[in-house]
Amino acid sequence: MSDLDQNLQKLSGHLSRFQETGILNQIAGQAVPAYSGETFETRSPVDESLICAVAKSGTADIDAAAQAAKQTFPAWRDFPLTERKKILHAIADGIVARAEEIALCECWDTGQALRFMSKAALRGAENFRFFADRALSARDGHSLPSPTLLNITTRVPIGPVGIITPWNTPFMLSTWKIAPALAAGCTVVHKPAEFSPLTARILIEIAEDAGLPPGVWNLVNGLGEHAGKSLTEHPDIKAIAFVGESRTGSMIMRQGAETLKRVHFELGGKNPVVVFDDADLDRALDAVIFMIYSLNGERCTSSSRLLVQETIAEAFEAKLAERVKTINVGHPLDPATEVGPLIHKTHFDKVTSYFRIAEKDGAKIAAGGTRFGKQGYFVNPTLFTGAKSQMAIAQEEIFGPVLTCIRFSSEEEALEIANDVDYGLTGYVWTADMTRGLRFTNQLEAGMIWVNSENVRHLPTPFGGIKASGIGRDGGDWSFDFYMEHKHIGLATGEHKIPRLGG
């Protein structure tokens, strides 16, 4: 039996229970359908087949979940920290134990290739371990003495929080948001994306099996405009951590305004990778390809704009086109596959619409630009050359395996083009001249920049974007700053004089 057939067989074992019950919500430790009894379908992008029904929640379900999160908040806030740490580590252990099931379900649900999803599942466990170890110091503050007062700060968890996640690498992103919230002492209502609900259900089961008290973390499935909107408007939810499109972020800001929500946004990107002619071009080529064609290009940090110096552009683009044509498109459960299908029909239509737009605007399709196969939402990895910065393919987030290549003549021009977009998430610079590398990073408008490297996530560092790419930072202590309130306490010494009024 081939590896693919074996994986399909294992997958069908894991899916059968979802097919029997559908995907239920988890509220106060109970697996429940939506109050209305309504469901929606989730389908696989591989062959458009029905995976299962999913609870279609609305305001009543969000309200029940928010009540559960509110009721359990005081106990979880005051939970012994060493016990909290143990539970978070036990969740990580549970993820490792079910990593294969998570990876197979994630691939089938999202179209992501198994070679990447196996790692993403384990990254989810790492996220829990990282924040488990930091739970003990989450409340730490500063000592800022003045002459007559010992001023100290401490942090307290903000309260029940709402976490809204997208369909691209949904498992990893859920752990990335939920682990620090729990470590900080917040309780959680999680609304996963409607297009990829499978692994969020597995994750909460792992958490409760690991000993997380019921109601500390609640799962509510549903559509963004119903369940998502209700969550952002709920008065008992103190903050919203959101990962998704920039325009959804601005909707959430409006929806949360009435209840003065604290918001944390990780949004879209149109990230430049700038290759100067003195760079190690073989390494640069590998990194350029990896950072746009891995994860189907459905990756917020993807380097979707290649800015290449004129002096080397022709040869670099030719090599690039040759390599892009050899990328292995196929079934996501086949370990040899490098690019799988896009998430759903609407997204497939959006991505493929840029093939026509590129040609109409005068760019050249140097590779791809076509559908792959006849079934499912597969596209061939695509390379546009001869693009100009003002073209739609250079400005808009396509969010697929599609790279737009623009040439530049000088460092100044490269910087101007790199900054000439609404977004500012990541940037990548390739040069042998470290002085130039540093100068360029100083002026590049992006929240995260790598020089002579692909994106390598180091968990203690801040993750987030500027401009339309986000508000706030995740990672290390930055996550706690979002999920916690700073409190100032002043302790007076004997010398402190109290101003006196009257008699």
Residues 300-319, one symbol each (x = binds ligand NAD by CB under 6 A, - = not), give x-------------------
Span interacting with ligand NAD, options 71-79, 125-133, 241-249, 480-488, rule CB under 6 A: 241-249
Q: Is 57 in the site for ligand NAD (CB under 6 A)?
A: no
Q: Among residues 399, 408, 428, 450, which is the contact residue for ligand NAD, using CB under 6 A? A: 399
Q: Helices 476-483 and 114-134 meet at what angle, rounded to 10? A: 70
CB environment 29-58: b (16+ within 10 A), e (fewer)? bebbbbeeeebbebebbbeeeebbbbbbbb
CB environment 400-420: b (16+ within 10 A), e (fewer)? bbbbbbbbbeebebbbebbbb
Query: CB of 225: closest distance to ligand NAD in angstroms?
Result: 5
* Number of residues in contact with ligand NAD under rule CB under 6 A: 33
Q: Among residues 5, 225, 349, 416, which is the contact residue for ligand NAD, using CB under 6 A? A: 225
Q: Which amino acid is at 472?
A: G
Query: CB of 284: closest distance to ligand NAD in angstroms?
Result: 23
Q: Which residue has 């990876």 as its token pair? A: 103
Query: CB of 358: closest distance to ligand NAD in angstroms?
Result: 20
Rg (CA), the chain: 24
Residue nearest to ligand NAD (CB): 224
Q: Is 332 in the site for ligand NAD (CB under 6 A)?
A: no
CB environment 422-445: b (16+ within 10 A), e (fewer)? ebbbbbbbbbeeeeebeebeeebb
Q: Is 348 in the site for ligand NAD (CB under 6 A)?
A: no
Q: Which residue has 């690039």 as its token pair? A: 320
Query: CB of 340: closest distance to ligand NAD in angstroms?
Result: 16
C-alpha distances (whole Å) from 297 to each of 7, 290, 364 are: 23, 9, 19
Q: Is 186 in the site for ligand NAD (CB under 6 A)?
A: no
Q: Is 176 in the site for ligand NAD (CB under 6 A)?
A: no
Q: Among residues 267, 306, 387, 402, which is the contact residue for ligand NAD, using CB under 6 A? A: 267
Q: Among residues 157, 228, 297, 476, which is the contact residue for ligand NAD, using CB under 6 A? A: 228
Q: Among residues 425, 444, 449, 484, which is the contact residue for ligand NAD, using CB under 6 A? A: 425
> With the C-alpha atoms ordered 223, 228, 233, 234, is the resulting torsion angle positive or negative?
positive
300 annotated active-site: yes
The span from the CA of 373 to the CA of 378, in Å, is 7
Listed in sequence order, the residues at least 6 apart from 373 whose beta carbon sits closer than 8 Å to its beta carbon are none
Query: CB of 162: closest distance to ligand NAD in angstroms?
Result: 9
Q: Among residues 111, 157, 159, 166, which is the contact residue for ligand NAD, using CB under 6 A? A: 166
DSSP state of 146: B
- Cite the active site residues: 266, 300
- Residues at the contact surface with ligand NAD, assessed by CB under 6 A: 164-168, 173, 191, 193-194, 223-225, 228-229, 232, 243-245, 248, 251-252, 255, 266-269, 300, 397, 399, 425, 465, 469-470
